[in-house]
Amino acid sequence: MPGTQLNSVQTAALSAGIDLDALPTHVAIIMDGNGRWAKSRGLARLLGHREGYKTLRSVLLNASELGIKYLTVYAFSAENWRRPKDEVDGLMALIERAARDELRVMHRNNVKVRVAGRMDDVPTSLRNALEDGIQTTQHNTGIVFTLAVNYGGRAEIVDAIRDIVATGTEPEDVTEELVAAHLYNPDIPDPDLMIRTAGEMRWSNFLIWQAAYAELFVTDVSWPEFGLKQLLSGVAAFQHRTRKFGGLTE
């Protein structure tokens, strides 16, 4: 990026050997390990989630300054309802508070907020907070930040199929492109890089259609301890991969 004034995050990226002209366009993150991080310190699990949302603000702003255009994070899965009621209630309240408290920061930093998931099933107050964030930032032109809440990859595909069936589409007219057009955010490109924290080696039903060819980067670091160093490590790993999309390279 000759002749361009670099910020501190981009300078750190260059020092880490990252090519700023070959960044992943869309990064998705499975934010794992909050509860284990808290337990290892003798704290309640919810305090780990609270610390995780502090981390999220930092990672979002770092990704924006680095030049990543889309960031999607797994905040609450459709399966998380199976957790103890007090933890679920606490998570719902925490997501709502974070959505309200961080809106000013996101708007000031030109972040565009989106959501993914079955919003009809979340508490009304949380849904209102998320919708307020979407409306407030809808004209922003910076990084597109998608919060996946009450989200499941299989549920998303089911919802897309239901929409297609409702239009009366003939079976022979159903294509991959048509299904993709009926997903929650069809205008957002598929993720190039999927980051998972806390060492777990699975997709956990996250963006399973969109992430079919995403490069996976797993770090043993728990989400509350994830920082710029780990983000840059993920991007560096991405840039060392050869993406073939099922084909061959010379």
Name the active-site residue from 7, 19, 32, 132.
32
**Which residue from 195, 131, 186, 128 is spatially nearest to 157, judged by alpha carbons?**
186
Catalytic residue among 7, 34, 62, 80: 80
Alpha helices in the chain (DSSP H): 8-15, 34-39, 45-66, 85-101, 103-108, 124-137, 153-166, 176-181, 228-239
Amino acid present at 80: N
Work out the burial of residue 172: count CB atoms within 10 Å of its CB; fewer than 13 is exposed, 13-18 middle, 19 or more buried: exposed
What is the C-alpha to C-alpha distance for residues 164 and 171, in angstroms, rounded to an integer? 10
Q: Which residues contact 205 (CB under 8 A, 6 or more apart)?
A: 77, 78, 79, 152, 153, 154
128 catalytic? Reply is no
Distances (CA, A) of 121 to 114, 118, 126, 150: 17, 6, 10, 8
Tell me if residue 80 is catalytic.
yes
Q: Which residues are catalytic?
A: 32, 80
